[in-house]
Copies of this chain bind each other. A is one copy, B any other.
């Protein structure tokens, strides 16, 4: 009899498993549950919907609609929330919107249930003007505020890059935006001196950035902080996300770092009929070898592909993560991969870092912009461990060179010698990544 695969979650961490599963098990019955009305959408695109940069409705952000999934032979049930896993009986308990609970049996189960925005238990956190950024319903509500007349005042709580992208989106629509961050700097994924470059760019666009300020609570139209009250027509929470692992935990499935579901490199959980992928799971860091929680859309897609393959009997493995991330804020590109210096020291590496400043193009070429590259390497081996980049157009995607080099275990010396592409519209003769690697190699 054909296998019945049940997928919980209609976004990448679930649905991207179907095609590799079907490649191995063409007859598999696939039933998928999604509690919202949206499937396979780009949460990363929400700030660009809010800013109006992506013209048209929010469905522009949908990569594959419920109808498309159904046309692909998937029994997809939207508005259906899985509320319990009964692993002893091999069943899920489903709560359809407005309907009665029912049970459904499975042979193999994939949890692609994602994450939810962190909402600290502050007074007033549940007031209606406090929003998270996650689903496309959030996107619609957040866009509606951007379209209001009279320059609404937006307060972003948390200075991660999603929060910063939201701040820029609102500035672009004529709103006022203030970022409140408890830490001494925004963009905790970057070292302070690089984050400072981005902060300068934000401030130049009149985004107010308040670091070292703690939010104490919310009241109608007001954000209470330890630095005084801030007026706010809307509060956007940009405090990161937490894995949706309650369902798994309640069923006795092991959790790992940050309360995310622990999986092996084949995306198998501690229960032999249950797989998990995407923002609800922990990953292994490629450099430190440590378990980490890094909820990124690319991983959800890759992990779900691995899960689909191994659910179908295949031998695929998820390679692990470097934490490569990129963003564009106020024409400033920022990117990171691998270990920062503090991460590296913390992980026990005898590490040093080197920072260089160069230009994105030949100095004489129009549009040449500053670029700062910071590289981290290991003494003794000379191996590159990570890097960060902040700069103008063309700066950010250079992080891929670093990510590739770190994955391959290249030394700083080898990176300095790489045959990277040069032409005046693209790079100075010595690519900034190579310059930084040369400098770093001298210290290793």
Extra 6 A-B pairs, beta carbons < 8 Å, given A42-B429, A45-B424, A407-B418: A44-B423, A45-B362, A298-B420, A302-B417, A326-B421, A408-B410
A365 adjacent to B419 (CB under 8 Å): no
Cβ of A155 within 8 Å of any chain B Cβ, yes or no, is no
CA distance A149 to B76 in the complex (A): 67
B297 adjacent to A429 (CB under 8 Å): yes
Inside 8 A of A426's CB, which chain B residues have their CB?
326, 328, 333, 396-397
**Shortest beta-carbon distance from A392 to chain B in Å:** 13
Interface size of A as a range: 35 or more
A399 adjacent to B421 (CB under 8 Å): yes
CA distance A237 to B48 in the complex (A): 47
- Find the residue from A328, A397, A426 having the highest chain B CB count within 10 A: A397
Q: A45-B365, A53-B366, A422-B296 are in contact. Are A405 and B408 (CB under 8 A)?
A: yes
Cβ of A61 within 8 Å of any chain B Cβ, yes or no, is yes
Inside 8 A of A337's CB, which chain B residues have their CB?
419, 421
CA distance A218 to B406 in the complex (A): 54
B405 adjacent to A335 (CB under 8 Å): no
Choose from B61, B366, B408 the contact partner of A54 (Cβ within 8 Å).
B366
CA distance A414 to B407 in the complex (A): 9
Copy total for this chain: 2
User: Which A residues are within 8 Å of any B CB, using their own CB?
Assistant: 12, 42, 44-45, 48, 53-55, 60-61, 63, 286, 296-298, 301-302, 319-328, 333, 335, 337, 362, 364-366, 394, 396-401, 403-405, 407-410, 414-415, 417-427, 429-431, 433
Could you name 10 residue pairs across A and B whose Cβ atoms are closer than 8 Å? A12-B429, A42-B364, A48-B365, A54-B365, A63-B429, A319-B417, A319-B419, A396-B426, A403-B419, A405-B408
**Shortest beta-carbon distance from A181 to chain B in Å:** 20
Q: A364-B61, A365-B54 are in contact. Are A325 and B424 (CB under 8 A)?
A: no
Closest to A325 in B: B421
Inside 8 A of A408's CB, which chain B residues have their CB?
404-405, 408-410, 414
CA distance A394 to B425 in the complex (A): 11
A405 adjacent to B403 (CB under 8 Å): no
CA distance A53 to B366 in the complex (A): 7
Inside 8 A of A48's CB, which chain B residues have their CB?
364-365, 424-425
**Shortest beta-carbon distance from A95 to chain B in Å:** 30
- Find the residue from A301, A325, A417 having the highest chain B CB count within 10 A: A417
Inside 8 A of A301's CB, which chain B residues have their CB?
429-430
Choose from B12, B45, B327 the contact partner of A364 (Cβ within 8 Å).
B45
Closest to A286 in B: B419
CA distance A326 to B422 in the complex (A): 6
Counting from the closest, the 3 A-B pairs by CB-CB distance are: A408-B408, A326-B421, A319-B417
Choose from B44, B321, B414 the contact partner of A424 (Cβ within 8 Å).
B44
B398 adjacent to A397 (CB under 8 Å): yes
CA distance A60 to B362 in the complex (A): 11
- Find the residue from A319, A408, A410, A430 having the highest chain B CB count within 10 A: A408
Closest to A397 in B: B426
Inside 8 A of A362's CB, which chain B residues have their CB?
42, 44-45
**Shortest beta-carbon distance from A351 to chain B in Å:** 19
